């Protein structure tokens, strides 16, 4: 079923505004998604009608806040097929989720000489925590090579699995290349070699159906702000037996069952990992975001992005002075997300983005928190990136192509 983009756009107040005197064309959803009025209203309603702390008050508005927060977890668990809500730990974002695993499970299980395996297409969120852990534990951080600067090199992956890594931490979808990894196969191979598997789902959860049960991973990290929810809410899915065995990262209120002068008893899952007052309003906003996405249907979200991305790749292919990174038309849309990083030959990425901005088009420019990858793609270490979502249409793509052509005209004269 085709989604009605024009109807969807009416739900996003920000798309009615202008930027630099031009209609806003938002092509930076890989960084953060815009918010529909349904999410905005849910957050506002919380503040206006039942603003209270959760798990604390035996009074009506506190009980409602607790109920809404709880329902949010239950909806997210169902959304990713994560089983019980007890397997869902709320954090600020994907970065915090991965750090939580590194600082708890990693601290308890990684020893000197152990191998940690990640890939060269990872976001800094899935690099730096493992660098810190490896340095502290004197462990070995290995990187899976890429094939054709697009895909995980599976031969190299299988070879590095022979080192018996304790954990394989891998992205589901690259935030630069737009590569959709065969995460089920990658996970299966890792599990066959006895490794724990963490999947970075920041770029997959908002854009396609996700089923952690089918993936078979031990941990799955995601961010709410990329899937229409407010900033400051993310989640870590973890298998019960692993979460049970992990020490809490933070100590304080609500994560305890009992506190004595010299020791404490931790609360049940998932609360033992959620110390202090949580981002209640953002969790409620996440619930509204999931309802919104469920109404559209994640299969329909994915099909729309395949169509718009294919159209964009075809338009870009017509321009001889543009290079596109990651899977292209020949590789098929099944391997490509709605992320297109590109290079306008002879023009710095920031200059390209500035021209886009002058035309009212928002794109990202830089290393996209993936410096090892981007510096390997382009010596300058910066590329422009367009990323699409449910509110984008072919007209947005056409305006982007016009901006590229304008940038080329401007800078080819200089």
pLDDT in tens, 314-336: 999 999 999 999 999 999 999 99
Q: What is the pLDDT of residue 53?
A: 96
Q: What is the pLDDT of residue 41?
A: 98
**323, exposed or middle or buried, with CB in 10 Å at 0-12, 13-18, 19+?**
middle
**C-alpha pair distances (Å), 190 with each of 95, 158, 160, 169, 235:** 22, 9, 10, 10, 23
Give the mean pLDDT of 357-379.
Answer: 94
- What is the share, in percent, of the chain residues with pLDDT greater than 70? 100
Given a cut of 60, is residue 414 above it in pLDDT? no
Cα gap 115→117, rounded to integer Å: 6
Give, as one character, the DSSP assignment of residue 163.
T
One fold for 5-28+297-412 and 41-294: no
> Does CATH number 3.90.1150.10 belong to domain 5-28+297-412?
yes
Given a cut of 90, is residue 413 above it in pLDDT? no
pLDDT band at 412 (very low <50, low <70, confident <90, very high): confident
Mean pLDDT over each residue of the chain, to the nearest integer: 97
Q: Which of 7-21, 27-41, 283-297, 370-384 has the lowest mean pLDDT?
A: 370-384
Radius of gyration for the alpha carbons in the chain, expressed in angstroms and rounded: 22
Q: What is the pLDDT of residue 381?
A: 87
> Does CATH number 3.10.180.10 belong to domain 41-294?
no
pLDDT band at 1 (very low <50, low <70, confident <90, very high): confident
The domain locations on the chain are 5-28+297-412, 41-294
Both tokens assigned to 278: 């949580």
DSSP reduced 3-state for 152: strand
pLDDT band at 79 (very low <50, low <70, confident <90, very high): very high
Q: What is the pLDDT of residue 261?
A: 97
The C-alpha torsion from 290 through 291 and 293 to 298, rounded to 10°, is: 90
Q: What is the pLDDT of residue 380?
A: 82
Cα gap 211→83, rounded to integer Å: 10
**339-344 and 383-387 as β-strands: parallel, antiparallel, unpaired?**
antiparallel
Active site residues: 369
pLDDT in tens, 226-250: 999 999 999 999 999 999 999 999 9
pLDDT in tens, 273-307: 999 999 999 999 999 999 999 999 999 999 999 99
- What is the share, in percent, of the chain residues with pLDDT greater than 90? 97
Give the mean pLDDT of 36-62.
Answer: 96
The answer to whether 337 and 206 are in contact (CB under 8 A) is no
- Tally the C-alpha atoms within 13 A of residue 34's C-alpha that lie toward its C-beta: 24
Give the mean pLDDT of 144-170.
Answer: 98
pTM of this prediction exceeds 0.75 = yes
Q: What is the pLDDT of residue 28?
A: 98
């Amino acid at each position: 079923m085709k989604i009605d983009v024009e109807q969807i756009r009416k739900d996003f107040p920000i798309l009615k505004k202008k930027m630099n005197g031009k209609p806003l064309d938002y092509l930076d959803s890989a960084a953060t998604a815009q918010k529909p009025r349904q999410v905005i209203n849910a957050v506002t309603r919380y503040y206006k009608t039942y603003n209270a702390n959760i798990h604390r008050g035996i009074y009506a508005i506190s009980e409602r806040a607790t109920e809404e927060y709880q329902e949010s977890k239950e909806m997210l668990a169902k959304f990713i097929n994560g089983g019980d809500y007890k397997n869902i730990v709320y954090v600020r974002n994907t970065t915090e989720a991965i750090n939580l695993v590194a600082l708890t499970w990693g601290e308890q299980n990684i020893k000197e000489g152990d191998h940690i395996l990640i890939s060269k297409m990872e976001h800094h969120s899935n690099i730096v925590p493992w660098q810190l852990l490896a340095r502290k534990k004197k462990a070995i951080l290995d990187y899976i090579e890429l094939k054709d600067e697009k895909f995980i090199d599976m031969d190299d992956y299988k070879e590095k699995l022979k080192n018996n890594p304790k954990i394989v931490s891998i992205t589901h979808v690259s935030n630069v290349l737009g590569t959709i990894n065969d995460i089920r196969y990658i996970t299966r191979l890792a599990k066959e070699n006895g490794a724990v598997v963490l999947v970075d789902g920041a770029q997959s959860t908002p854009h396609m159906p996700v089923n952690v049960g089918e993936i078979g991973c031990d941990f799955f990290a995601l961010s709410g702000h990329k899937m229409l929810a407010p900033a400051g809410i993310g989640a870590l899915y973890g298998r019960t037996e692993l979460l049970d065995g992990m020490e809490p990262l933070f100590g304080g209120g609500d994560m305890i069952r009992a506190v004595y002068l010299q020791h404490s008893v931790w609360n049940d899952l998932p609360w033992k990992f959620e110390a202090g007052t949580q981002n209640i309003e953002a969790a409620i906003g996440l619930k509204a975001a999931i309802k919104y996405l469920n109404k559209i249907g994640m299969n329909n979200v994915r099909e729309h992005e395949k169509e718009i991305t294919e159209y964009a790749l075809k338009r870009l292919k017509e321009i001889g002075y543009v290079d596109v990174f990651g899977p292209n038309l020949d590789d098929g849309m099944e391997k490509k997300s709605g992320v297109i990083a590109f290079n306008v030959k002879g023009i710095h990425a920031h200059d390209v983005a500035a021209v886009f901005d002058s035309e009212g088009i928002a794109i990202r420019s830089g290393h996209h928190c993936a410096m090892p990858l981007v510096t390997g793609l382009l010596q300058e270490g910066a590329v422009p990136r367009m990323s699409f979502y449910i509110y984008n249409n072919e007209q947005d793509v056409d305006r982007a192509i016009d901006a590229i052509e304008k940038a080329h005209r401007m800078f080819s004269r200089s």
